[in-house]
Amino acid sequence: MNETARTSPESSPSDPSQWIGRVLIAVLLGEGIWGLIVSLTNNLLLPLLARTMGADVQSPLYLGKGDFNVPALFMSVLELCFAGIVAVILNSWVQRRPKSRRGKSVRLIPIPSDPSVTVPSIPAVVPVQAAASVASPPPAAPAPSSGQFWAPPEPSPPKAATPPPPAKPAKPKPPKEIIYNSVGEPINPTEEE
């Protein structure tokens, strides 16, 4: 019941390669069907009408001898079958998904849905005075677990950091008055013409 439509960007309806493939399939099948209709008319229906009418050879309504052309009819059926086979192959080629690249795999970690669990965040950079800092060896990196490729560094507690001084607000400049000429171009009032 809880089904979601899975579409990838490669198979979007606006993909031009899919539309070109669909147009080619339609043209192939349309040509095969049209050829079968023409062959049925010329090689089967027209001779059948000629036999039933039995008109005089001198008459303008004469439709021919009434001989069925079975080889031509068979060829048009074969053409339709070949067009169908090519259309099926072309359709499978158009709908083929690109091969996924096998390389580095990414491990996804689910986000806990429990609101009481907090996710650690990356600490902000805090400036530290050089004189007040004591040289200490960097903390040892934790050993990676068997399935984890990368672990964020553990945050270290900040040491006697002083906050940066507050920035002085800049004095706002009065807006410069712009004068336009009759054409709409800005002009400088200090320039003399």
pLDDT at 142: 55
Question: Domains of the chain: which residue ranges?
Answer: 15-94
Encode pLDDT of 137-146 as tens digits.
555 555 555 5
Q: In whole angstroms, what is the distance from residue 134 CA to residue 19 CA?
A: 67
pLDDT at 146: 54
pLDDT at 105: 67
Buried b vs exposed e over 13-35: b needs ≥16 C-beta within 10 Å?
A: eeeeeeeebeeebeebeeebeeb
Tell me the longest C-alpha to C-alpha distance in the chain. Answer: 121
- pLDDT tens, N- to C-terminus, the chain (193 residues): 455 555 444 445 567 878 888 999 999 999 999 999 999 998 888 888 888 877 776 676 667 777 888 999 999 999 999 999 999 999 998 888 766 666 666 677 777 666 665 655 555 555 555 544 555 555 555 555 555 566 677 777 666 667 777 777 788 888 877 888 888 888 877 766 5
Q: In whole angstroms, what is the distance from residue 141 CA to residue 153 CA?
A: 7
Those residues with Cβ within 8 angstroms of residue 56's Cβ, 6 or more apart along the chain or in another chain: 62
pLDDT at 166: 77
pLDDT at 124: 55
* 35, 76 Cβ separation under 8 angstroms: yes
Percent over 70 (pLDDT), the chain: 58
Encode pLDDT of 107-160 as tens digits.
777 776 666 656 555 555 555 555 445 555 555 555 555 555 666 777 776 666
User: Among 161, 88, 155, 163, which residue's Cα sits nearest to residue 128?
Assistant: 161
pLDDT at 89: 93
Q: In whole angstroms, what is the distance from residue 11 CA to residue 77 CA?
A: 34
pLDDT at 72: 92
User: Among 115, 128, 114, 94, which residue's Cα sits nearest to residue 25?
Assistant: 94
